[in-house]
Amino acid sequence: MPSRNSAHSSIPAAASYGPGGGCRPGYLLPLLAVAGIGAVLMFFTLGAALPANSADIPDQAAEIQNNNQLQPLSSVFTPEVQYWAERIQKWSAAAGLDPNLAATVMQIESCGDPLALSSSGAMGLFQVMPYHFTDYDDPYAPDTNALRGLDYLRRSLESGKSDPRLALAGYNGGIGIISLPESEWTAETQRYTTWGSGIYAEASSGSSKSLRLQEWLATSGASLCRQAHKRLGISP
């Protein structure tokens, strides 16, 4: 996702409270001790039900419990992307997207490397630019990266009136590019949409192999996938 993308979302900061001040009279100490013990017990009881970090983004995909309702992922994608198959299905369901479209983006953005970093500063599985994250986000956390990246992909798809090719162009070049003639797209965006739309079409057709994906690997993707393969510790 390049620098043209300017959309961002924000999460309000959690409220913080400072400690109380002043001295307590001596005869109140026993009562305060009992109250303090009760407060500590309540804290630990309630704390067990809360996330470790109150600023963490909820994993919306985790709410989808019935895996039978999830759309299947095509077998055309490389092992590094297949590594994330179940989570791609859940992330896509939460975002209202076809998992094969989400997997296509992951394939050509990072080939499944969660720590991928581009020269332009794009980060993680879906190569999301820094300004799409809040101060509370870990950009490399897979759930967070998917939440931000797939939200932008969804909006790009909506702006492109459900045309996957336009959605891919918007994801790469910024949603504003969708309204321009393709002849005015950058060379990078034209290449991106050629690879992406071909891979997605073959993944959606039920084919067991994508010729366009093999072309992408031979042209520029193999080194990216080798890095992801090593990072994920996938057996040869």
DSSP assignment of the chain equals --TT-------PPPP--PPP-SPPPGGGHHHHHHHHHHHHHHHHHHHTTS-SSTTSPP-GGGG---GGGSPPPPTTS-HHHHTTHHHHHHHHHHHT--HHHHHHHHHHHTTT-TT-B-TT--BTTTTB-GGGS-TT--TTSHHHHHHHHHHHHHHHHHHTTT-HHHHHHHHHH-GGGGGS-GGGS-HHHHHHHHHHHHHHHHHHTT-S--HHHHHHIIIIIHHHHHHHHHHHT---
- 119-144: per-residue pLDDT in tens? 999 999 999 999 999 999 999 999 99
Asked if residue 196 has pLDDT above 60, the reply is yes
Structure confidence at residue 236 (pLDDT) = 74
- 138-166: per-residue pLDDT in tens? 999 999 999 999 999 999 999 999 999 99
More confident site: 235 or 56: 235
More confident site: 156 or 65: 156
Q: Do 109 and 145 form a contact (C-beta atoms < 8 A)?
A: no
Asked if residue 4 has pLDDT above 60, the reply is no
Residue range 71-232 in CATH 2.60.120.200: no
pLDDT-derived band of residue 41, with 50, 70 and 90 as boundaries?
Answer: very low
Asked if residue 90 has pLDDT above 60, the reply is yes
Q: Do 71 and 91 form a contact (C-beta atoms < 8 A)?
A: no
Per the prediction, the chain carries an average pLDDT of 79
More confident site: 17 or 116: 116
Structure confidence at residue 69 (pLDDT) = 74
Structure confidence at residue 71 (pLDDT) = 87
Q: Name the residue among 105, 126, 132, 104 with its Cα closest to residue 114.
A: 126
C-alpha dihedral over 126, 87, 62, 6, to 10 degrees? 10
Of 1-5, 14-18, 208-212, least confident by mean pLDDT is: 14-18
Q: How far apart are CA 116 and CA 125, in angstroms?
A: 7
pLDDT-derived band of residue 30, with 50, 70 and 90 as boundaries?
Answer: very low
